[in-house]
Structure 1
Amino acid sequence: MMSSSRFSAASRRLYFPDVARGLMLLGIAGANATQGWVSTQGASMARDYGGVYGDSLWDRIAVVVGCLFFHVRGLPMFSTLLGIGFGMITVSLMRRGYPRSAARRLLIRRYGFLALFGVVHTVFLFWGDIMCFYGLAGILLALMIGFRDKVLLLLGSLVWVVSLVLTVIASLIPDPDVGGDASSFFGSAGDVSLTTHSYLGQVGGGLAIALAQVISFPMEVVLLGLPIVLGYLAAKRGIIHNIQAHRKLLWAWVIVALLVILCVGLPLGLAQIGVIGGAAQWEMLNQSFGVLTGPGIVAGLALALDPLQRRVARSEARGEHPRIPRALWPFAALGKRSMSGYVGQSVLFSILVTSYGLGLTRDSGAWKVTLMAILVWFLTLLGACLCEALGKPGPLEWLHRHLAYGRQGLPPRYEGPVEPPVGERALVYPGNESP
């Protein structure tokens, strides 16, 4: 079982996950804007990445920057934070004395509602929703909370190896587009986006995609299972609460992320703008190796914010109420309302860029689309800051919490009946007996 000192560490207020989620939403906005919200049929290249129109240098720069920092960066980071959040909740339930079966039911309820939110988001706002998958992934984790850490790590590693093998096989297929644009191989954003016609058409297509999301869940687990497991174990074993003791491991994750960004993301961007060939192959490699950037980006933020976190811990030990620095306050405000911020992006994109909305960036190129993504993210940042100043939670966070935990929230101690077997009186994790 966890020692009392690890329980104490796990109960401390962590700031870096909130800051990370706030920053992550910028990457999500950039990726979704260029790949899911705009039609790029008139682009000469990089149609899956916002498009390059004519000889625009700014479009080319935006495509390369997007391949480095946006595409298959935000989702793995979000997946890692999903695992961290799940681990923090389960440790909290352990401290409250929840039997494993009761904790499992509560977690399934919480993440089941998240999946339901994702289905609604898919149908009525954005076909590229990720909340449904994360909800289903949370349910799957809840069913495995009694698994040993080594087993979970092995399973996460195996599914990533499977995705790597599939990627290697797929990369052997010759690129059918001699010009170096992978759009013809994968289908351009304008072909697959359901948001460029009518709103009713989007709703009808969203229903079909919501069903497809459930069916394709196993494949998505193969792609994103490893960062979820790593985030879960990082929270469960206290790594994120004791950065100093795990600096070597965290720096190793950071180095892996940097290598992927430079060795895969940069060639992908250069291939998309025609500097080198093999665009389809680099895209597939980015899909597989890109998931390794999630833990590294989170680890980098944890290391960067560790001095702040230690200062907060010292303030709490003196009985003071610590305050986050003003420079980080807006990002933390948005991070605490990441679900509302994520769905808010879809509302704003629907208004600003779709054909049934204002259509502001249709056939504009990656540069202008990226600027629109930054604007949308900034507007959600302002909304989160307003909520924080008023002391109000995000609307979707408020609703989700009430649906999952009830009006009273979680009790300080488990109040339900103790369920057999006796060994389940407390939520004990096999394999967690030592740090």
Structure 2
Amino acid sequence: MTLSPPAVHTATPAAQRSLAPDLARGTMLLLIALAHAHMFIGHDQTGFRGYAVDAAPLERLLTGVQVLLVDGRALPMFAALFGYGLVRLVDRQTRKGATWPQTRRIVRRRSAWLLVFGFAHALLLFFGDILAAYGFVGLLFTGMLVARDRTLLKIAALTSLAHIAVLVLLGLSAESADHRTEQPTTIADPLAALAMRLMTWSALTPTFYLVSILPAFAIGIWAARRRVLDEPGRHRGLLTRTALWGTAISLVGGTPLMLAETGLWDPHTPAAVSAYALHSVTGIAAGLAYAALIGLIADRRSAGTPGAIPRALAACGQRSLTCYVLQSVAFVALFSPQGAGLGTELTDAAASAIAVAVWAATVALAAAMARNGRRGPLETLLRRLTYPRSGFKYAK
């Protein structure tokens, strides 16, 4: 019996990394911050996306902008990039001589540790954790990485239908409760808050997040096989069409809920739930459009050395796991009753302003780490756990 020699696992040197995927991840974290910050603000009654319904007109205008452009749009983009990144991992292992069973074990080990990271994140910081959902998908759906293109597109279509069904159930539940639920982020008792975080997280991860991630995850795998973001110049037409059509679909699909959330339309339950489901499912198109747009921007930058801002955003994208968790650390410290307690004093607009500031701080930190040749600590830990016996090393 002939055994394949173990590959030496080295992280891709920064100089050899494609700009577009890292730039997309770094930019996407701004949308994540905006989507999460208002969940730390306490309200008696909210709309479907967690914003106050009794806010001032200017405040509700900002809510409308975020509902239309941010909420339900960051998660699909992240999911597509997750699928894209796993295909790149498989490609690297294949080039080093690893067989598919060997590579599958690596993907599943990495996914299992992501699940652990996500559990810790939800346990200690934020009920809306998405790391565990990606780990869950990586563990259960590893076979999608080698599935035929037609199979991937079928999975994307079928899980989109499942996504709509889950959204309708969640929407009906929210309507029946008159949108009056206590967020785990606003509970003062630490143990009660911890228990509520875990209850909410354990309900969301295998249902809502799973069906939200799978369609974009499948499309990300399809795109990675064609190196769409690695070689954006060769795919400029596809990226342009995706950016234009995806943006149009998401704006049309998001407008009814935006009108409802801003108070310009007062729909009855069937129409309200339909608007919520339409908004969320068309968010997949928005996520893909954003990734395509960033690919086009990266293509324009490829002719020369990227400027300071693209380099900083790419550095943040290379350390997206660390920066994502740091956002939650900052939000808990600022908003929660166990921290500064600003969640009971600030508005959604103020939370959004803080979200931008926190994201900018993580970008600056990532840029400083890049200048010093340092990887993100959580990225380093995940790699060491993924390749425990391979002698992992980072090539500068």
| Residue 31 of structure 2: aligned partner | 27
Judged with a 3 Å threshold, the aligned counterparts in structure 2 of structure 1 residues 379 and 410 are, in CA distance, closer, same or farther, namely: closer
Which segments of 5 or more consecutive residues in structure 2 lack a partner in the other structure?
A: 1-14
Aligned partner (choices 39, 43, 47) of residue 40 of structure 1: 43
Q: Which residue does the alignment assign to 1:388? A: 370
Among candidates 377, 381, 399, match of residue 359 of structure 2 = 377
TM-score with structure 2 setting the length: 0.86
Indicate if the aligned counterparts of 1:37 and 1:353 stay in contact, CA closer than 8 A: yes
Q: How does 1:315-326 map to 2 (within 5 A)?
A: 323-326=305-308
Which residue of structure 1 lines up, in the alignment, with residue 245 of structure 2?
Answer: 256
Letter in 1 for 2:301: L
Change in Cα spacing, 1:262 to 1:355, as seen in structure 2 (3 Å) is same
Judge conservation of contact 2:249–2:285 (CA < 8 Å) in 1: yes
Indicate the structure with greater helix content: 2
Cα deviation, 1:112-155, whole Å, max 9, x if unaligned, reads 11111001101111111000000111223423433222212211
Q: What letter is aligned with 1:187? A: H
Letter in 1 for 2:91: V
Match of 2:95 in 1: 95
Structure 1 counterpart of 2:57: 57
- 2:179 is the counterpart of 1:187: yes
Q: Is 1:268–1:283's contact at 8 Å kept on the other side of the alignment?
A: yes
- When normalised by structure 1's length, the TM-score is 0.79
| CA shift digits 1:212-271 (9 cap, x unpaired) | 35xx52553322211111111111232223323333322232123212332122332221
Query: What residue identity is the alignment partner of 2:195?
Result: G
Partner of 2:325: 343
CA distance in 2, matches of 1:298, 1:390: 28
Shift in CA distance, 299/186, structure 1 to aligned 2, threshold 3 Å: farther
Partners of 1:342 and 1:329 lie apart in 2 by: 18
Give me the whole-angstrom Cα distance separating, in 2, the residues matched to 1:247 and 1:158.
28
- 2 CA distance for matches of 1:410 and 1:101? 23
Structure 1 residues 161 and 253, CA gap change in structure 2 (3 angstroms):
farther
Identity of aligned residues (%): 29
**AA matched with 2:288:** P
The answer to whether the Cα contact below 8 Å between 1:40 and 1:365 also exists between their aligned partners in 2 is no
Q: Deviations over 1:186-231 (max 9, x none)?
A: 735x523344323222222334345435xx5255332221111111
1:198 aligns with 2:201: no
Shift of 1:61: 2.0
Amino acid at match of 1:51: A
Distance (whole Å) between structure 1 residues aligned to residue 119 and residue 29 of structure 2: 20
Q: Residue 9 of structure 2 corresponds to which residue in structure 1?
A: none
Matches within 5 A, 1:66-145: 66-145=66-145
Q: CA deviation at 1:325?
A: 1.5
Tell me which moved more, 137-146 or 291-300: 137-146
Question: Which letter maps to 2:187?
Answer: T
* Paired residues of 1:167 and 1:284 also in contact (CA < 8 A): yes
- 1:141/1:165 CA distance change after superposition, 3 Å: closer
RMSD of Structure 2 on Structure 1 (CA): 2.7
Distance 1:40 1:46 in 2: 10
Alignment correspondent of 2:350 = 368
Report the CA distance shift for 1:282/1:111 in structure 2 as closer, same or farther (over 3 A).
Answer: same
1:269 aligns with 2:244: no
Distance 1:197 1:156 in 2: 41
Whether the 8 Å contact between 2:313 and 2:363 is mirrored in structure 1 is yes
For structure 1, which segment, 291-300 or 194-203, has the greater mean C-alpha deviation from structure 2 after superposition? 194-203
Q: Give, in angstroms, the shift of residue 394 of structure 1.
A: 1.0
CA shift for structure 1 position 184: 6.2
User: Per the alignment, do residues 224 and 39 of structure 1 end up closer, same or farther by CA in structure 2, a change over 3 Å counting?
Assistant: same
Conserved? CA contact 1:80–1:228, under 8 Å = yes
Aligned residue-pair number? 376
